[in-house]
Amino acid sequence: MIRLTLEPLDAVEALRFDLEARRLTVTHEGSPEAILTHLEPLGFGARLAHSREASEEQVEAADPIAERRVLWQLLGVNAAMFVAELGFGWYAQSTGLIADSLDMLADAMVYGLSLYAVGRAVALQKRAAHASGWLQIALALVALAEVARRAVVGSEPVEALMIGVAAIALVANVACIALLARHRGGGVHLKASWIFSTNDALANLGVIVAGALVLMTGSAVPDLLVGAAVGVLVMSAGVRILRL
């Protein structure tokens, strides 16, 4: 009802709902009293809590169009890195890169779900976030199964490829974190995206360290350990999302 009332107004740029706190944040031009006069007849007991001038950054962060733009960028980065890491990981026989690629795939699908959630009700945002959490857990199990398979059949990871590809993935994830920085206080779907990207950067560092250890020791054990660690990290992120 509130959306039907306010969204057609030319002065209204964005609406953000906090249903638990019964709070509505309206990004708009002109007087706040003009917005209030449209809300009062709805009978929800609307009152003005406070009003202040928004900066350009706050306006952009509150804008669903800006959220969609950022999520499309994140989706593109993670999808591209999934293809690259999976291909090089398989060629390099690196469980660390393969596990990290599956993490990238999970994130790409998460951002697709988040695009569905932008501008929708909080309940739909939570459903999208929880679906992404279950997806993370499922892909973590796939990664752990691959680690177990290679531990049995053996592998000879190519350390130079591990370090190089993981370094590129780290740069990509730092770029994703920078894109998300001004939106991480948004809905639960964006909070989920922030958790995924920060965990990814940690996973990339782990693969780089594992590659260095493989180079120093000539053993595949560090790669297997980091592959398992990334799988556990992905699973823990999924559990955290389910608790949001």
Q: Rg of the chain's alpha carbons, rounded to an integer? A: 22
Contact between residue 100 and residue 143 where contact means Cβ atoms under 8 Å apart: no
Q: Are residues 36 and 75 in the same domain?
A: no
Residues 178, 205 within the same domain: yes
pLDDT recorded at residue 42 = 84
Query: How high is the pLDDT of residue 139?
Result: 84
At CA 138, angle to CA 135 and CA 142, rounded to 5?
135
**What confidence tens digit (pLDDT) does each residue in 155-205 have?**
888 889 999 999 999 999 888 888 877 665 555 556 667 777 787 888 889
Q: Which residues contact 22 (CB under 8 A, 6 or more apart)?
A: none
Do residues 75 and 35 share a domain?
Answer: no
Provide the pLDDT confidence category of residue 213 given band limits of 50, 70 and 90. Answer: very high
Q: Verify that 41 and 92 share a domain, yes or no.
A: no
> Based on the domain organization, do 130 and 151 belong to the same domain?
yes
How would you classify residue 119: left for phi > 0, otherwise alpha for psi between -120 and 50, otherwise beta? left
- d(CA 208, CA 94) in angstroms, rounded, equals 11
pLDDT (0 to 100) of residue 17:
76
Nearest Cα residue to 91 out of 156, 154, 168: 156
Q: In this predicted structure, which of 15-19, 81-85, 159-163 has the lowest mean pLDDT?
A: 15-19
Beta bridge partners of 24: 17
pLDDT (tens digit per residue) in 87-146: 999 998 899 898 888 888 877 877 777 676 665 665 666 777 788 788 888 888 988 998
Decide: pTM greater than 0.75.
Answer: no
Rounded (5°) CA angle 229-156-148 = 40
Question: Could you tell me if 30 and 135 lie in one domain?
Answer: no
State the Cα–Cα distance between residues 142 and 126, nearest whole angstrom.
25
CB 122 within 8 A of CB 86: no
The total number of structural domains in the chain stands at 2
| Residue numbers of the domain that contains 150 | 60-242
Say if residue 90 is in the same domain as residue 148. yes
